[in-house]
A and B are shown apart, each in its own frame.
Chain A
Amino acid sequence: MQAAPSTFKLATRMRSLPVITLIAALVIGAPVLIALMTGLVGGGGEAWSHIVSTQLLGYTLTTLGVLLLTALLIILFAVPTAWFVSLYEFPGRGFFEWALILPLATPGYVLAYSWADIMDVAGPLQSVLRETTGLSARDYWFPSLYSVPGLSFVMACALFPYAYLTARAAFSNLSLCTMEAARSLGASPRRLFLSVAIPAARPAIFAGLALALMETAADYGAASYLGVQTLSVGIFRAWHSFSEPAVAARLAFLLILIAFALQFAERAARGRGGIQQTATRWRTPRRQQSGKAARWLIFAGCSAVLLLAFVFPVSRLIWLSAETGLGHGEIWRPFFNSLTLAAAGSALAFVLALAVVIGARQNRTSQLIGRISAGAGYAAPGIVLALGALFILSWTSFSVAGPAALVFLVWIYASRFTAAGAEPLSAAFSRAPASLSHAARSLGAHRMQRLLRVDLPVAMSGAAAAAIILFVEILKELPATLMLRPFNWDTLAVQAHAYASDERLAAATLPALLITAAGLVPVILLSLQLTRAGEARSAG
């Protein structure tokens, strides 16, 4: 008798929604849902009326102003550098290609501390100005970083690499045929850039920009340090200073609305049909040689961006740290706490991201549920998620000051960053053709076996990237950690913020530099990996 199929029982065709997706969606989405519902139900009253009549408009306009200015600055920093790095030969091009990603390692609040010191009356810039001109501090006007433009500048410095990366990828993928056709039709380099390259790369640029602006809207550390009254600062104040968490949650609605509007705008930009590439010959265009003056001008432009966004502020922190010595309070405990929390948070976020991505492969409903919940978690600033967790803590008998808060903090990290981990995982999964799974099925591998023996090993490259991204993002997280950590249980981010807020900047430099250093390793790895992938593509 031949080896017959092991079971001829007719299995039911209806596929139920994977429980795993539902659980993951619930874990990810619960904090934001609870925060918003509580805000809706209990966030009214006198305090709310007071905020509406006195501060709401200010918070909103300030936030929108910061977003607008940040967007302009990001475009100014990211698009030209990506264009020149992708398509022109100039001194140091290979270095700038990866070095321009480095600012991703530095959180916005760290840049704020550093730039605020650089531009301070007693800081190096104004000191040099006074020494060279002989003026006194009262004799001249100097721009203040403690302003909407100042915050926008800092956020653009910290976040422009998101748009730089997507724009660079888009420019590198421009069809050689399209570019050559445009040149043969007499398009000047300027027209080529404005009429061909920018429209083709617009969806990609907008995707990076939307991500950067969502992070800008969610920022608390830099805005509070620079004293700019954004919605995030308002939410934190409503919770911390006014002890009105429900009012804070209601304020969070606006922030979520902004995040969703950005996501919607990004999708709308991506969905436009007329800007899709149609040529099939995909080859990275050969980089152009330009005149000597132009080459050095491009070099100067790229150098300026890198100096402003990374070299100056990080050097200043290193200088301050070296100048004042490293013995500022205990650093190892916060360091250990940061690593522990980042490891636990990224592990949970990784598992959730895996559940979302695997669920998405099962059926469309799971895909939709997973995407919405992960997207909602990512769109919700850490401050909002932390409010959700605080509400849950207050309804239970757990103490906000006890270890339960740490568990909740890990949960909030996972809720916030699952989408960031799901992205590279999903990309790695989608690189594996469907025939792999079919082949495994035909060889008798059931769902779990396929996951363990085929899907996961194939997705390992993406899994490593996902884990690194999650770890760094969590390491940098400030507002949720600030709100949920038990008393006297500091992380590097919290310690840096606490010192900086107390105007003990020298003491804040070490934790700030440690966060940057921890972020640098994976960012450099990621950057080199992306650059190598680009080179391999253009060689192929």
Chain B
Amino acid sequence: MTDKLPLIADGVSRAYGTKGVVNKASLTLRPGEITALLGMSGAGKSTLLRLMAGLEPVNEGEIRLGDDVLSSVSGQVPAEDRNIGLIFQDFALFPHLNAIDNVGFGLAGTPKTERRRIALEWLNKLGLSHRANAFPHQLSGGEQQRVSIARALAAKPVAILMDEPFSGLDVTLRSDVRRIALEAVAASGIPALLVSHDASEAMRDADRVAVMKDGVILQEGTPEELYLHPNSLAVARALGPLQSVRREDMPESWRSQLPEADTYHLRPEAIQIDPQASASFRVQASKRASTLIELDLIDESGGTFRAVSIGPQRPLPGDMVKATLSPEFAFILPSDAE
């Protein structure tokens, strides 16, 4: 894997008229790693992907493959000469070509028999060899996306960029397609970018996660780093739900566990039901959310908290419960304004 090169965005900006969409963004995609780019709609994720792919020019900064400059203010290598694979939400399969010819599209210089052999090999890797002669409209959504991934990888790209590749798929198909597809991407050993707005998907699928907001990359690191040590409220919120609690509203036993601050930002799992704990609460509301039970609690001084329990019994409204605080899920963060 050592011969693979990183794909680097170095301080790139892109504006449409006076509206800046990407602002001095820096991101390194390392070989053999999947980096998830996370953010809300309009954060600039897809634009950064397009800049890296060469579909748009940069207004500032550079895109490099290793030391080779692909885009800069003075010019750019056209997308078709970069050999960077792209995967789209709408699959973008060529409707006039069957699966095997779609996969073979990027192997234009290869003799026909060899091209078909390679294409079939890739379809086989993605579990689709029996659908080789099917046209896109005859394939299911999951099959179409696997063909598009086979097509991108068959061309032996130097990197692969995926723009919300699984969001067009049925929920029941998603996990299987994602597993097969991302295993193939990981096995290729090239740098990979996965643009997503789904935090759980990004953390589950990626080796590294970058969070983007208003065209700026706020933080980049492993999923654990970002989930447990967010550098801002925006990053913490992007990775999962939060509740903000003032120090004065906390039970005394919890305050002593936390460093001094006005406000703490807690993940739901920061407060867990524990019969051995000292702090007591009344249950205001409770509901089962798949594997966990979510609870709204109130203490005797009127402070309200959101807690989780693994069950199996669901405490009912009015019940008294005891809860414990896990300080590693409580953050002291600068606000968005700061």
Binding site for B on A (CB under 8 A): 1-13, 432-433, 435-436, 438-446, 449, 453-454, 457-458, 460
Contact = CB atoms under 8 A, between A and B. Distances in A.
Contacts of B80: 440-446
B261 interface: no
B90 A5 contact: no
Contacts of B75: 10-13
Contacts of B76: 10-11, 13
Contacts of A439: 86, 88, 92, 94, 148, 151
A443 B54 CA distance: 12
Given A3-B156, A442-B84, A443-B155, A10 B90 contact: no
Instruction: Specify the main secondary structure of chain A where it touches its partner.
Output: loop
Chain B interface size, under 10 / 10 to 19 / 20 to 34 / 35 or more: 35 or more
A442 B155 CA distance: 9
Nearest to A433: B90
18 contacts: A2-B158, A3-B156, A5-B82, A6-B81, A8-B68, A8-B70, A435-B88, A435-B90, A436-B92, A438-B79, A438-B86, A439-B148, A442-B82, A442-B157, A443-B85, A444-B155, A446-B78, A454-B94
A7 B81 contact: yes
B41 to A, nearest CB: 18
B302 interface: no
Interface in B45-97: 53-55, 57, 65, 68-70, 72, 74-86, 88, 90, 92, 94-97
Given A2-B158, A3-B83, A8-B69, A441 B78 contact: yes
Nearest to A8: B68
B135 interface: no
B247 interface: no
A86 to B, nearest CB: 28
Nearest to A2: B3
Given A442-B79, A444-B106, A5 B95 contact: no
Contact of B106 (A9, A13, A443): A443
A433 B88 CA distance: 11
A5 B83 contact: yes
Contacts of A435: 88, 90, 92
B152 interface: yes
Contacts of A433: 90, 92
Nearest to B97: A457
Contacts of B106: 443-444
Instruction: Specify the main secondary structure of chain B where it touches its partner.
Output: loop
Given A10-B75, A13-B75, A458-B96, A438 B55 contact: yes
Given A6-B83, A438-B79, A458 B95 contact: yes
B4 to A, nearest CB: 6
Given A6-B83, A460-B96, 19 more contacts: A1-B3, A3-B156, A5-B77, A7-B77, A8-B69, A11-B75, A11-B76, A439-B86, A439-B151, A440-B80, A440-B105, A442-B84, A442-B85, A443-B106, A444-B80, A444-B81, A444-B155, A453-B94, A454-B94
A91 to B, nearest CB: 37
A2 B5 contact: yes
Given A10-B69, A13-B57, A444-B155, A4 B83 contact: yes
B108 interface: yes
Contacts of B70: 5, 8
Nearest to A453: B105
A441 B81 CA distance: 8
A223 to B, nearest CB: 46
A12 B57 CA distance: 11
Contacts of A11: 75-78
Contacts of A449: 108
A442 B86 contact: yes
Contacts of A10: 69, 72, 74-77
A444 B94 CA distance: 15
Contacts of B79: 438, 441-442
A464 B108 CA distance: 27
Contacts of A445: 80, 105, 108
B104 to A, nearest CB: 10
B77 to A, nearest CB: 6
B158 A4 contact: yes
A334 B156 CA distance: 59
A103 to B, nearest CB: 35
B77 A3 contact: no
Nearest to A459: B96
A445 B76 CA distance: 17
Closest 9 interchain pairs by CB? A10-B75, A443-B106, A435-B92, A442-B86, A457-B96, A439-B92, A441-B79, A435-B88, A441-B80
Contact of A444 (B68, B69, B108): B108
Interface in B154-181: 155-158
B323 to A, nearest CB: 45
Contacts of A436: 92, 94
B15 to A, nearest CB: 15
Nearest to A432: B95
A119 B55 CA distance: 65
Contacts of B55: 438, 441
B81 A5 contact: yes
Contacts of B53: 438, 442
Contacts of A443: 80, 85, 105-106, 151-152, 155
A493 B258 CA distance: 94
Contacts of A446: 78, 80
Contacts of A4: 5, 65, 68, 83, 158
A4 B64 CA distance: 12
A437 B330 CA distance: 47
Contacts of B96: 457-458, 460
A453 B84 CA distance: 19
A6 B106 CA distance: 14
Given A436-B94, A442-B53, A2 B68 contact: no
Contacts of B84: 442
A457 B106 CA distance: 17
A519 to B, nearest CB: 30
A398 to B, nearest CB: 43
Contacts of B157: 442
Nearest to A7: B81
Contacts of A440: 80, 94, 105
